[in-house]
Amino acid sequence: MLIRREVPGDRAAVHDVPRAAFGKDAGPPPVEAVLLEALRECDGWLPALSCVAVVEGEVVGHVVGTRGYVGERPGVGLGPLSVRPEHQRRGVGLALVHTVLGAADALGEPFVALLGSPEYYGRFGFGPAAGHGIEAPDPAWGRYFQVRPLTAHDPAVRGTFRYAEPFDRV
């Protein structure tokens, strides 16, 4: 498996990954696929944080981080993350998340926020966002809204996290 940045020729294959991962090969696309395409068209798309996993020349996994904010201060919102079903539970998701976190850290991003399972994301250093003074866009998300502080994190930045606009539509 190789992990690298997405390049223009990957676009169609990347588009198919959430559709397959979230179990809808036919019928209307799952919200994650719709979200991914809307994110790609929005101002918050961060090309350096769109990473693919490639096995034998095929894109089997994808993750993206997009621009979010706490007030005027930037951060990264993570997701969607998806791995094609036949490649799940082989470490692809693990490699993608480590890669996107390392890339965000190297770019000087201060933190990464996401809505997801604490059991899955805890291993990457994510913890309840409230513990870092960052509130979820929806308070009902509780402990499922998590933050991973990076090297440039400033603990003085406190407030409600705002995802890139397409997240508000799904």
Ligand X SMILES: CC(C)(COP(=O)(O)OP(=O)(O)OC[C@H]1O[C@@H](n2cnc3c(N)ncnc32)[C@H](O)[C@@H]1OP(=O)(O)O)[C@@H](O)C(=O)NCCC(=O)NCCS
Site for ligand X, rule CB under 6 A:
21-22, 79-83, 88-94, 116-117, 119-120
- Cis peptide before 137, with omega less than 30 degrees from 0? no
- 93/110 with CB nearer ligand X: 93
Q: Cα(first)–Cα(last) distance of the chain, in Å?
A: 31
CB 126 within 8 A of CB 115: no
- 35/103 with CB nearer ligand X: 35
| Count of positions (residues) in the chain | 170
Tell me the C-alpha distance between 145 and 86, whole Å: 28
If one counts every other C-beta atom within 10 angstroms of the C-beta of residue 32, the result is: 18
Identify the bridge partners of residue 4 per DSSP, sorted by sequence position. 52
The radius of gyration computed from the CA coordinates of the chain, to the nearest angstrom, equals 15
* Least distance to ligand X, CB of residue 145, Å: 13
Return the residue nearest ligand X (CB atom): 93
- 88/160 with CB nearer ligand X: 88
- 53/157 with CB nearer ligand X: 53
* Least distance to ligand X, CB of residue 96, Å: 8
* Least distance to ligand X, CB of residue 20, Å: 9
* Least distance to ligand X, CB of residue 39, Å: 13
* Least distance to ligand X, CB of residue 89, Å: 4
Tell me the C-alpha distance between 88 and 60, whole Å: 9
Which value, to the nearest 10 degrees, does the dihedral of the CA atoms of residues 109, 113, 114, 118 take?
120
- 84/162 with CB nearer ligand X: 84
